[in-house]
Amino acid sequence: NAGVTQTPKFQVLKTGQSMTLQCAQDMNHNSMYWYRQDPGMGLRLIYYSASEGTTDKGEVPNGYNVSRLNKREFSLRLESAAPSQTSVYFCASSESIVGSGTYEQYFGPGTRLTVT
């Protein structure tokens, strides 16, 4: 099992460019998440998906959109990149089901994004 995979590993964008970060999990998990990690700020939730076909905003959703393509895949899109979006982005998945308890999340290796 590969667990959670993310592409690309590194990306440099110019202000105003767009891109999509891809995430896939092979653990048959229901829930998937996108976080960003900045020095001194910890991991902050951007968007999450509790099940296929549903998405919801997290703590810092502005400037991002997501798509839960199927149970395995959850993508994050930056429509018009800004320098403030320079960060490390992590995707995670969990077998959590809303209303039945919270389970551990498993993380991908991250995408290091620089916006100039």
Partner 1 sequence: EDQVTQSPEALRLQEGESSSLNCSYTVSGLRGLFWYRQDPGKGPEFLFTLYSAGEEKEKERLKATLTKKESFLHITAPKPEDSATYLCAVPYRTDKLIFGTGTRLQVFP
* Contact (CB, 8 A) for 33 and 45: yes
Q: Is 102 in the site for partner 1 (CB under 8 A)?
A: yes
Which one of residues 11, 17, 55, 58 is an interface residue with partner 1 (CB under 8 A)? 58
Q: How far is the CB of 93 from partner 1 (least distance, A)?
A: 11
Stretch binding partner 1 (CB under 8 A), from 11-19, 20-28, 65-73, 106-114:
106-114
Check residue 34 for interaction with partner 1 (CB under 8 A): no
DSSP string, 16-81: T--EEEEEEESS--SEEEEEEEETTTEEEEEEEESSTT--EE-S--TTEEEEE-SSSBEEEEESS-
User: Binding to partner 1 by residue 48, rule CB under 8 A?
Assistant: yes
With CB under 8 A as the contact rule, the residue among 13, 46, 90, 93 that binds partner 1 is 90
Q: What is the DSSP letter of 101?
A: -
